[in-house]
């Protein structure tokens, strides 16, 4: 063998003019082999991405969101926060009661949603539905529940049943069906057909076939979805008070209306502790219940019995403590249906151009908020991924920021920003944008942590440093998940921006709540219908884009 100190590949430097020597080469002759071949789908995606960026910029300027405004707004917020410290907790007994009510409302709402979602999911799942038409109808109901924001349900139900906790619980329940029904049905469709066939072969009927062949397979996914939803509903239930549907949000709005900022800050801190506590609890439940370290039948069953028993006790406590008559759940249905009936036929004309303007503003808020959210969440989410963070301290700090932001409901953020920079869409967009960190930052971090580590090791082994590993291995692999999460964020932000109007943060929500307040139910129906259509269109679009990417 010969010794070669420096190996050079053949033709390395002189290659540009290299003729197309053909052997086994597919591209058409005459085409520049160093330029990627034309790819229609790729080009379409690129145009779509460019269009998206332009759209976000147009939307931001349309609602008057620019850099000087942001800088000035930052000062205003700092000012406001200055006036909020030191936080104050007057009447701790009352706050504690309201906090407990809030937690119980979230729990009860989710339990009711689960009871509604289970039969709906069996009807909606392709594999268990009695007829495709039934499946389509069930999916339609589920989508409708998801598309109508919980606060909109709450406003309508407060009108039907009067101020109190019950309309709030029902609103939470109905909106949660939108998520639980879908996740439950997806779990059923993903279940293995084999065990079901085996149960059928024993000669039992349809109900027992589903109960013994399907339910055992999907229970872990269902429990996981339930715990996750309790977590989400706790965040929502703290703001239900804004529309008179009970809970701690009532006290918060009181404090803000009275300009008692230290007191408001005290309540916000209580909310933060509540939500963070729930996050920890749900993590613990998921770990012990769904992924026990050392599964042993006896202990496993004891844990399940204990958790189940605790849930049952909590359910009874909820009814007693919130003073809800279980019968009222049934007897209130006619009143709810009556209000729902009064929104028909939806009225799109009475408000005239104001309606369309408000709708456009809602879209603009959602788009700019998503722009802000992506800009903030992408770097933060990457640093919050254990595999990417340059130092464990950076990882810890980034994860903490995400957790804290996640704990603050968007509407509370919106209230703070409205108080700081004044009424209008800018406050809403910034609040939603910052709130997005808690959502998108976590999704980005989790997705990046799941990327296979091999390619990153390969880049390191050619001598690449942190930046090169990030751009050559991490981002290319994580891109589909990141884009998918970004689209999901847009979806969520547009839905949320329809209710920002309730705290004066712009969008169609103001008109909606005014319409309900002044008993113009058909106008409200028209607005809900428009929101529904918009959300549906966005869902379809993002579904298509995600399919193109994978």
Partner 1 sequence: MPAGDEPLVRVRGLRKEFDGTPALGGVDLDVARGELVVLLGLSGSGKSTLLRCLNGLHRPSGGEVTVAGTRVDRASARELRHLRTEVGFVFQQFNLVGRLTCLENVLIGGLGRVRGPRYGVSTYSRRMRAEAMAHIERVGLAAQAYQRADTLSGGQQQRVALARTLMQRPQLVLADEPVASLDPENAGTVMDLLVRVCAEEGLTVLCTLHQVDLALGWADRLVGLRQGEKVLDRPAAGLTRDEAMAIYRRVEPAAVAA
Residues near partner 1 (CB under 8 A) are 1-13, 15-16, 18, 21, 23-27, 33-34, 36-37, 454-455, 457-465, 467-468, 470-473, 475-477, 479-480
- In angstroms, what is the minimal distance from the CB of 476 to partner 1? 5
| Residue with smaller CB distance to partner 1, 46 or 299 | 46
Say if CB 452 and CB 394 are below 8 A apart.
no
Which C-beta is closer to partner 1: that of 27 or that of 130?
A: 27
Q: How far is the CB of 2 from partner 1 (least distance, A)?
A: 5
Please report how close the Cβ of residue 214 comes to partner 1 at its closest, in angstroms. Answer: 33
CB of 48 to partner 1, least distance (A): 17
Q: Cα torsion for 142, 143, 147, 152, to the nearest 10°?
A: -30
Rounded least distance, CB 391 to partner 1, Å: 13
Distance CA 258, CA 9 (A): 76
C-alpha triplet 181, 248, 111: angle, nearest 5°: 25
Judged by beta carbon, residue 4 or residue 133, the one nearer partner 1 is: 4
* Torsion 272-278-282-283 (CA) sign: positive
> Min. distance of Cβ 372 from partner 1 in angstroms?
23
Compute the least distance from the CB of residue 96 to partner 1, in Å.
46
Between CA 65 and CA 215 the distance in angstroms is 50
Smallest gap, in angstroms, from Cβ of residue 459 to partner 1? 6
Which residue lies nearer to partner 1 by CB, 16 or 295? 16
Quick one: 44 or 134, whose CB is closer to partner 1? 44
Bond into 205 cis (ω within 30): no
Q: Which is nearer to partner 1, 286 or 546 (CB)?
A: 546
Nearer to partner 1, 203 or 390 (CB): 390
Q: Which is nearer to partner 1, 346 or 464 (CB)?
A: 464
Residue closer to partner 1, measured from CB, 8 or 296 = 8
Residue 21 Cβ vs partner 1, minimum distance, rounded to whole Å:
8
d(CA 236, CA 110): 12
For residue 318, give the nearest of 208, 420, 185, 165 by alpha carbon. 165
Q: What is the 3-state secondary structure (H, E, C) of 130-171?
A: CCHHHHHHHHHHHHHHHHCCHHHHHHHHHHHHCCCHHHHHHH
- Of 71 and 462, which has the nearer Cβ to partner 1? 462
**CB nearer to partner 1: pick between 31 and 517:** 31
What's the CA gap between 420 and 461, in Å, rounded?
51
What phi-psi label fits residue 507: left (phi over 0), alpha (psi between -120 and 50 degrees) or beta? left
Are 196 and 205 in contact, with CB atoms under 8 Å apart? Answer: no
With a CB cutoff of 8 Å and minimum separation 6, the contacts of 286 are 224, 227
Task: State the nearest-atom distance from the C-beta of 544 to partner 1, in Å.
Answer: 19
Please name the residue that has the structure tokens 């920021």.
401
Long-range contacts: 379-383, Cβ < 8 Å, 24+?
Answer: 380/437, 380/441, 380/444, 381/440, 381/441, 381/442, 381/443, 381/444, 381/445, 381/448, 382/444, 382/445, 382/448, 382/470, 382/474
Residue 9 CB, nearest approach to partner 1 (Å): 6
Number of Cα atoms under 13 Å in the Cβ half of residue 113: 37
């Amino acid at each position: 063998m010969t010794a070669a100190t420096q190996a050079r590949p053949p033709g390395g430097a002189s290659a540009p003019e290299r003729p197309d020597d053909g052997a086994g080469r597919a591209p058409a002759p005459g085409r520049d082999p160093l330029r990627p071949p034309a790819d229609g789908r790729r080009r379409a995606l690129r145009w779509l991405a460019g269009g998206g960026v332009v759209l976000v910029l147009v939307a931001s300027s349309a609602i008057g969101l620019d850099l000087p405004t942001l800088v000035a707004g930052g000062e205003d917020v700092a000012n406001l926060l200055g006036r909020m410290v030191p936080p104050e907790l007057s009447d701790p007994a009352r706050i504690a009661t309201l906090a407990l009510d809030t937690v119980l409302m979230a729990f009860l709402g989710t339990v009711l949603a689960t009871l509604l979602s289970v039969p709906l999911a069996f009807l909606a799942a392709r594999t268990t539905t009695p007829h495709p038409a039934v499946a389509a109808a069930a999916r339609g109901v589920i989508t409708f529940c998801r598309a109508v924001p919980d606060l909109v349900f709450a406003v309508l139900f407060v009108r039907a049943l009067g101020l109190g906790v019950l309309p709030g619980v029902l609103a939470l329940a109905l909106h949660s069906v939108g998520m639980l029904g879908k996740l439950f049905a997806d779990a059923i469709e993903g279940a293995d057909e084999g065990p079901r066939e085996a149960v059928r072969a024993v000669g039992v009927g349809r109900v027992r076939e589903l109960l013994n062949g399907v339910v055992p397979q999907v229970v872990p996914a269902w429990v996981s979805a339930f715990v996750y939803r309790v977590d989400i509903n706790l965040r929502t239930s703290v703001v239900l008070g804004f529309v008179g549907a009970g809970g701690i949000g009532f006290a918060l709005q009181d404090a803000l209306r009275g300009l008692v900022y230290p007191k408001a800050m005290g309540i916000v801190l209580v909310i933060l502790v509540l939500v963070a506590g729930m996050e920890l609890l749900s993590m613990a439940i998921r770990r012990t219940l769904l992924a026990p370290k050392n599964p042993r039948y006896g202990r496993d069953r004891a844990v399940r019995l204990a958790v189940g028993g605790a849930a049952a006790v909590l359910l009874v406590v909820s009814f007693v403590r919130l003073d809800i008559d279980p019968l009222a759940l049934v007897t209130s249905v006619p009143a709810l249906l009556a209000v729902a009936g009064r929104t028909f036929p939806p009225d799109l004309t009475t408000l005239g151009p104001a309606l369309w303007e408000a709708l456009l503003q809602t879209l603009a808020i959602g788009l700019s908020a998503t722009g802000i959210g992506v800009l903030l969440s992408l770097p933060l989410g990457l640093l919050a991924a254990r595999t990417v963070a340059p130092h464990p301290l950076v990882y810890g700090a980034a994860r903490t920021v995400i957790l804290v932001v996640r704990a603050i409901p968007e509407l509370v953020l919106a209230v703070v920003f409205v108080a700081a920079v004044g009424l209008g869409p800018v406050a809403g967009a910034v609040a939603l944008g910052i709130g997005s960190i808690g959502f998108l930052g976590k999704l980005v971090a989790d997705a990046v942590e799941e990327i296979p580590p091999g390619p990153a090791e390969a880049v390191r082994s050619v001598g690449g440093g942190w930046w090169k590993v990030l751009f050559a291995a991490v981002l290319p692999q994580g891109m589909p998940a990141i884009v998918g999460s970004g689209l999901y964020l847009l979806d969520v932000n547009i839905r949320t921006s329809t209710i920002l109007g309730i705290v004066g943060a712009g969008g169609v929500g103001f008109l909606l709540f005014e319409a309900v307040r002044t008993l113009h139910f058909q106008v409200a129906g028209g607005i809900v219908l428009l929101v529904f259509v918009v959300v549906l269109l966005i869902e379809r679009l993002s579904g298509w884009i995600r399919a193109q990417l994978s």
